[in-house]
Amino acid sequence: MNPQRKRIIISEIQYWKKNRLLPEHYCDFLITLYAQGESAGAEPAKTDKAVLEKERSAVTNRMILMGLLAAVLFAGLFLIKDHPAAAVSAAAAVAALLIIRLLFSRKVRTALVPFTYIITALLILGISLKVWFAFFEGETMLLLGLLMLNSILWLFAGRLLKLLYFTISGSAGLLLIIGFLLISY
């Protein structure tokens, strides 16, 4: 057996033993079995967390970091009044990097992938709104067009990627815009 794989299995069994997920004598038997009589099984666990728990906490930390970055960029889009081009450029660069990361990343499904889609979609919406506020304020039809374009993009992404939340939000956005147009004109 691969030594790294053996260490992971022994580490997991020691985690089970420490947290009393299995009876102690079962864990001792499994450690002896996987250590094959070596002293590796007699060592105390070097890790406090299980391997999957470590991976989950790493994904959670990345999600928190991405969420904070997106919140700062989104807030910066509307708080920076003097240099709208700089705010739009920064948000567009981050959105482009997130899209490139999604396109060229491994096809592993974690909680980070849908979160990245959502952050990218919200950044693109924020960029659209900032461009309207900075350059075309007062042009209601252009705002409706930008919102409609974002909704169509969400609907298309939802259908293409089979993501229900994008399909629903895109459809709801289009219906709300059409309803607004019917009521006001």
Compute, in degrees rounded to 10, the torsion defined by CA atoms 119, 124, 127, 129.
-100
| 62, two tokens | 């990345």
Taking the C-alpha atoms of residue 157 and residue 168, their distance in angstroms, rounded to an integer, is 11
Query: Going by C-beta distance under 8 Å and a sequence separation of 6 or more, which residues neighbour residue 182?
Result: none
**29-72 pLDDT per residue, tens:** 888 888 877 754 445 545 556 666 666 777 778 888 888 988 89
The model's pTM: 0.66
**122-157 pLDDT per residue, tens:** 999 999 999 998 888 889 999 999 999 999 999 999
Q: What is the DSSP letter of 110?
A: -
Q: What does the pLDDT read at residue 110?
A: 67
